Structure 1
Amino acid sequence: MNAFLSQTTEQKYINDLTSLLEKNDYLSAIPQVRSGIRSKPSWVEGYALLGRLLWQTGQHNEAADAFQDAIRLQPDNPEWQIQFLRCKMKLGEFEQTVPKILNFVANHTDNSSLIIEGVSLLSEVSQHDVAVACLTWCLKKRPDDSVLCSTLAAELISSGRASEGSALFIDLMTRHPDTIGYTPIIVAALGNIGEFDFALRISEAYQESDLPKSSAFLNNIACALVALNRSEEAIPYCEAGLAIEPENEDLRFGLAAALLKSGAFEKGWRQHELRPALLRRRESRPWRGEEDVHGKTLLLIGDQGLGDCIQFIRYIRFFKDTGTRLIVAVEAPLQRLFANMAVWVEVCDIDERPEHDLSCPLLSLPFALMRFIGTTIPAEVPYLHPYPEDLTRFSSLPDPGNKKRIGVVWSGAKRAQYGLFYRARSSSLKDFLPILEQKEAEFVNLQLGEPRDEIREAGLATLIDPMDDVRDMADTAAIIQSLDLIISVDTSVAHLAGALGKPVWMLTRSDCCWRWLEDRDDTPWYPTMRIFRSEPGSLQHAISLAARELPHFLGTARLQPSDHTYSKDEVLV
């Protein structure tokens, strides 16, 4: 700090800042660090600390500026260069940043750790092909570097060249048996492309060895088990990882997912409160059920995706008779829909923070209300409703005659940061044809975004497409209200149909989200939903199951001859 600050004042500043950091109160720590920088503009570590705090709270643009200030004062610090480049990649500035990453790697070819750090920036945003090319070039300069070789194997796997990457790693292990220590890198890569069973098998020898098991390795094993619907087995791995690294956000969230997917809701909701900061919205007056909300204003903040908000808005019913003024802050597509729930609920934009006494994210409501309602999931539907005027606007859909009208959604958001396997949550219009070609039904498009262009590309004139007139989810709700069935991948429309109480068939990955539990075709969240679970790799299996079942729903299924002889009791039933 500046010379005019007394030693006592400086020590108090350090103690206050340390206390905030120990409590992970990043939002409060940011102005503290800014204050310190104003007092001492040459405080290079302060700029770097500010950058880390801004990164943790999702303020990536400001984080980049902070790291750039640190680099200006100390240009040769590779750690801050990496952090700055990471921010730029997160902001989507690929064209400008990739050459800078490659230049960084070229300047540090004598240091494997820095090469891998640079390459990891490419990998984090799924630029695996560029990462492969970069590592291949580095290996020509360091041909005996087993660390780079194992990293290249992992990048090949992550880019979709699984057999090539695995062969490279097996060759490395054959030539250098002591490289078993690189197994965790390959396990992580296999998990990233959805080869969970293979990842577990690859890990067996390493798990049985005396080599140290890092928290990252334990997390990857746990993730593989959860994805394989063996969530109870995953819990001890999460706990072992947290014993090594208690503040690891991936492990804390992984443990929550394992608990919730296995149906251990009481522990799961409690653990879910430790979800990563990047999944949270700004909140200044947290409420988690500790105090009476009577006569107070409670701000409920929509966090994570649109489907999550639709799923958890159901909990507002428990505030109806509490004398609480309720404000719900959500993204624009949900605002009109939620404003139609109840006269005592106000709705504002997700970034607004109107005056309030207390606040709570929507996904924290099961935990906040647990002491009052237990872990029972309130599943009364419908709890969302379309507007009468919107029903009128969309009443001009062609008369289906005697046919049933079915809405379809074949693709969700890509979210490349979750790895190649996450693509299996979505399909294509072409892959949906076994469903759409059934002439006994009339199909209505509910798909928005880029995948909607596939209708024109396929020339599928029989698919009715009213989405040009859709402004938000309230409009989509009005269309859904006129349908007999919705067939959707795991995205917000599936949640919306369930919340409207409409029959909905959800097609999901084999490694589906924790909320759908394990090995069941129904869900406690939506009584009108039926789940079709796919085999690993794509949604084709789930699509074929739904296509096979659709004639039964339509009443057009033909009876097949059977060798089974029915008893009298079976006939009566």
Structure 2
Amino acid sequence: MLDYPFSPGRLRFEFYLGDCQISLPKHLRLMVARRSSFGMEHGACDQPLAVESALERASTLERLGQLEPAEAIYRELIDNHACGPVACQKLGVICGRTGRLEEACLLLSRAIALQPDNAEALSCLGIVHRMEGRIEAAIGAQKQALALRQGFTAAHARLGVALAAAGCRKEAIQSLREAIRLDPGHPEALANLGSILLDEGDWPEAIDLLRRALDAGPRSSHLLTSLAQALHAQGQPLEAIDWYIQALAQEPNDPHLLSNLGVAYQETGDRDTAIVHYRQSLAIRSDDATTWFNLGTAWKECEDFDEAIRAFTISLVHDPTLAKTHISLGRVFVEQGDLDSGINAFAAAVQAEPGNPDAHLNLAHALLKAGDYTRAWDHFEWRFMTPEALGQLREPQLPRWDGSSGPGIELLLVGEQGLGDVIQFMRFCRRIGREVGSVSLCVPESLVELARYSAVAERIYSPTEAETLTRGQWLPLMSALRFLDLTVDRLSGPSTYLHVPAALTSRWKDKLAGEGQPIVGIHWQGNPFTEASGLQGRSLPLEDLSPLGDHCGVRLLSLQKGHGSEQLSTCSFLERFVSCQEEISATWDFVATAAMVQACDLVITTDSALAHLAGGLGHPTWLLLHHSPDWRWGVNGETTPWYPNMRLFRQQTKGNWKEVMERVRGELAAWL
């Protein structure tokens, strides 16, 4: 899905009413006189005109867009009883093209009555019925036309459009594909199948078909827009912009086109140009809630939160049912520290769209951040229903516990989310066991040894081992918290619940003893994939920690593994790191890393799994928090009930790590 939705619009179709190719029978070459009303300007004279010539003249005028004089010729032919079915059919087509549907229906029906085997007239009548909204009649007319003429390409194409309008997408696609099989260059079939597949989300084939339709037939603004939308949906906003601009050349005042072009510019990072197009769209149609929403997202990305709130609020005035707008408004409030308004906005999103997982999950996070755990847990259950989360949890082959089995059950809790979440919440396994009976824990392979040595549950399984279990029931680890009636006040427990072999800790302490100064372990970056969808700004470059390197009273030890560790070799204060840093960086085992944490005098880290590891070990830890941190750290204060030995250093202004590090440097001097 796009982050910024297209302006809404129903699926439209290309159809070419009037592309009939009619061969006039020889016996109808009658002579008729031109009416004086046709006028000298059209080359009238006193000489009689053959019916065939009159039809050719009218058809030429029709192709040139001169429908009024063409219509005059057809009416004269009808009035003179010449070429009855053909003239009725052609005049009916013109009436249909000019919106006179009732008259078009009468004329085409008359043509069919005069010539019952006229498949083209039946097909054109089907188009008129569809324009009237009589979809079943339209389908019936096209099927009759096909019964009269096998291999009638245009009728297959038109039947496909009628079937799509009836909601019969599968049959519509089959009919349009048959039209393309018969004529691979049929513009109407190509365009309409492309539009349907665009609506179905089959963007690659839609793009191919729409390009072929543009090569084969008229380059209508709708067709140009459809191709732009298909490219846009497939993640090609730059190319989409070119096609949107071509469509705008034909429809410069189309508000939806302007809004969609703004979305494309916004996705390329050109927010200023996007805002210009949104404003142009709203100048034409000021009540478009989607465009106001898109404008709000652009202002939010520009960090002009006042304008974002204004745009989202106006969007909701025009359509209070847009859950996405309530959610975006709530996120801006939370970003600004107005948690109460954020909670109200997320609650409104849930009310507007009760089945929206993002609405529930945002409300859950805001309530958790406010410390209202009791209200939060039910909404937090929607975390597995988002498109990003579906299929992420590796479920064992056991029935899922619903909380109704009572004491004495065998319950397997399955670790979820990131490694930090598993480390943070494994502390509750024993407490849950006292409530329900026997509790085991399944954790990622990398945490198995740490969890077993810490004895956080009766039995510890890896995901592979958990798949072989046949007894008991299971539940995601964080879902079990609902049954503990867990609140901020009930987080109390042992300050240390993780343990490592004493010999391993002693080994690292001995190795570091020769450094001659206190050891400060540092960690600066979390998983960048997590930060792509949330928690943006929680990490910082290693170079921003240079004030610690300037402090001559300590030696630094990098606890960074994987992403971000490459910065170590080029940092300006590399000489301040311990002499065995290379060996430390090569050690990835969690138990060994925990022993290294224990060997440090202090750990300074950003919000990551390392923070929970150090906190669970009960080790002195300073946590660096960005301006709008994750829910578990609350909104203010220097302490957290989750880890009594942890101290929080919060950004005062968004993105300003320099000020944070100056405070840390001052506190480090006092700590020494």
The answer for the alignment partner of 2:360 in structure 1 is: 252
Q: CA deviation at 1:272?
A: 1.2
Structure 2 residue 510 is the aligned partner of structure 1 residue 412: no
What whole-Å deviation, never above 9, does each CA across 1:511-552 have from its counterpart, x for those lacking one? 2111111122222211122222225542xx245323333333
The answer for the alignment partner of 2:405 in structure 1 is: 291
The answer for the alignment partner of 1:518 in structure 2 is: 635
Q: 1:343 to 1:368 in 2, by over 3 A?
A: closer
What whole-Å deviation, never above 9, does each CA across 1:245-294 have from its counterpart, x for those lacking one? 21111001111112111221111112212223354624442225433342
Q: 1:309 to 1:394 in 2, by over 3 A?
A: same
Residue identity opposite 2:563 in structure 1:
E
SS of residue paired to 1:304: coil
The answer for the alignment partner of 2:590 in structure 1 is: 473
Structure 2 residue 384 is the aligned partner of structure 1 residue 267: no
Residue identity opposite 2:275 in structure 1:
S
Q: 1:368 to 1:119 in 2, by over 3 A?
A: farther
Residue identity opposite 1:520 in structure 2:
G
What is the rounded CA distance, in whole Å, between the counterparts of 1:178 and 1:80 in structure 2? 25
8 A contact 1:408–1:446 mirrored in 2 = yes
Q: List aligned pairs for 1:367-382, cutoff 5 A.
A: 367-370=482-485, 376-382=490-496
Q: List aligned pairs for 1:248-397, cutoff 5 A.
A: 248-277=356-385, 278-279=388-389, 281-283=393-395, 284-294=398-408, 296-319=409-432, 324-342=437-455, 345-351=458-464, 352-353=466-467, 354-370=469-485, 376-395=490-509, 397=511
Between the aligned residues of both structures, percent identity stands at 23
Question: 1:162 pairs with 259, 267, 271, which one?
Answer: 271
Q: Report how many residues are paired.
A: 460
Residue identity opposite 1:257 in structure 2:
H
What is the rounded CA distance, in whole Å, between the counterparts of 1:391 and 1:270 in structure 2? 41
Give the stretch that moved more between structures: 312-321 or 278-287.
278-287
Question: 1:450 pairs with 559, 563, 567, which one?
Answer: 563
Q: 1:367 to 1:117 in 2, by over 3 A?
A: farther
The answer for the alignment partner of 2:646 in structure 1 is: 529
Normalising by structure 2, we get a TM-score of 0.61
The answer for the alignment partner of 1:150 in structure 2 is: 259
Question: 1:399 pairs with 488, 496, 513, which one?
Answer: 513
Q: CA deviation at 1:387?
A: 2.3
Residue identity opposite 2:537 in structure 1:
A
What is the rounded CA distance, in whole Å, between the counterparts of 1:276 and 1:147 in structure 2? 34
Residue identity opposite 1:135 in structure 2:
I
Aligned residues: CA RMSD: 3.5
Q: 1:476 to 1:175 in 2, by over 3 A?
A: same
8 A contact 1:302–1:329 mirrored in 2 = yes
The answer for the alignment partner of 2:605 in structure 1 is: 488
8 A contact 2:524–2:540 mirrored in 1 = yes
What is the rounded CA distance, in whole Å, between the counterparts of 1:257 and 1:107 in structure 2? 48
The answer for the alignment partner of 1:229 in structure 2 is: 337
The answer for the alignment partner of 2:665 in structure 1 is: 550
8 A contact 1:298–1:324 mirrored in 2 = yes
Q: CA deviation at 1:159?
A: 4.6
SS of residue paired to 1:408: strand
What is the rounded CA distance, in whole Å, between the counterparts of 2:493 and 2:600 in structure 1? 21
What is the rounded CA distance, in whole Å, between the counterparts of 1:458 and 1:542 in structure 2? 17
Structure 2 residue 197 is the aligned partner of structure 1 residue 78: yes
Q: CA deviation at 1:453?
A: 0.7
Residue identity opposite 1:425 in structure 2:
R
Q: Which runs of 5+ in 1 are unaligned?
A: 1-42, 46-73, 86-98, 123-129, 558-573
8 A contact 2:207–2:230 mirrored in 1 = no
Q: 1:156 to 1:494 in 2, by over 3 A?
A: farther
What is the rounded CA distance, in whole Å, between the counterparts of 1:103 and 1:509 in structure 2? 46
Q: 1:513 to 1:556 in 2, by over 3 A?
A: closer
Q: CA deviation at 1:400?
A: 6.2
Q: CA deviation at 1:203?
A: 2.6
SS of residue paired to 2:564: helix
Residue identity opposite 2:412 in structure 1:
L
SS of residue paired to 1:337: helix
What is the rounded CA distance, in whole Å, between the counterparts of 1:312 and 1:418 in structure 2? 24
Q: CA deviation at 1:44?
A: 10
The answer for the alignment partner of 1:5 in structure 2 is: none
Q: CA deviation at 1:214?
A: 0.8
Q: CA deviation at 1:435?
A: 3.0
What is the rounded CA distance, in whole Å, between the counterparts of 1:348 and 1:44 in structure 2? 48
What is the rounded CA distance, in whole Å, between the counterparts of 2:598 and 2:585 in structure 1? 18
Q: Which runs of 5+ in 2 are unaligned?
A: 1-167, 171-192, 214-221
Q: CA deviation at 1:481?
A: 0.5
What whole-Å deviation, never above 9, does each CA across 1:37-77 have from its counterpart, x for those lacking one? xxxxxx998xxxxxxxxxxxxxxxxxxxxxxxxxxxx9985
Q: 1:536 to 1:186 in 2, by over 3 A?
A: farther
8 A contact 1:332–1:349 mirrored in 2 = yes
8 A contact 1:339–1:347 mirrored in 2 = yes
What whole-Å deviation, never above 9, does each CA across 1:391-441 have from its counterpart, x for those lacking one? 24534543365632111111111127845x844121111222233322222
8 A contact 2:282–2:291 mirrored in 1 = no
Mark the structure with the bigger radius of gyration: 2
The answer for the alignment partner of 1:36 in structure 2 is: none
Residue identity opposite 2:539 in structure 1:
S
What is the rounded CA distance, in whole Å, between the counterparts of 1:535 and 1:133 in structure 2? 41
What is the rounded CA distance, in whole Å, between the counterparts of 1:104 and 1:356 in structure 2? 54
What is the rounded CA distance, in whole Å, between the counterparts of 1:158 and 1:236 in structure 2? 29
What is the rounded CA distance, in whole Å, between the counterparts of 1:546 and 1:170 in structure 2? 41
Q: 1:179 to 1:446 in 2, by over 3 A?
A: same
What is the rounded CA distance, in whole Å, between the counterparts of 2:459 and 2:206 in structure 1? 47
SS of residue paired to 1:285: coil
Q: CA deviation at 1:367?
A: 0.6
What whole-Å deviation, never above 9, does each CA across 1:426-466 have from its counterpart, x for those lacking one? 11112222333222221110111131111113362322334
What is the rounded CA distance, in whole Å, between the counterparts of 2:610 and 2:315 in structure 1? 43
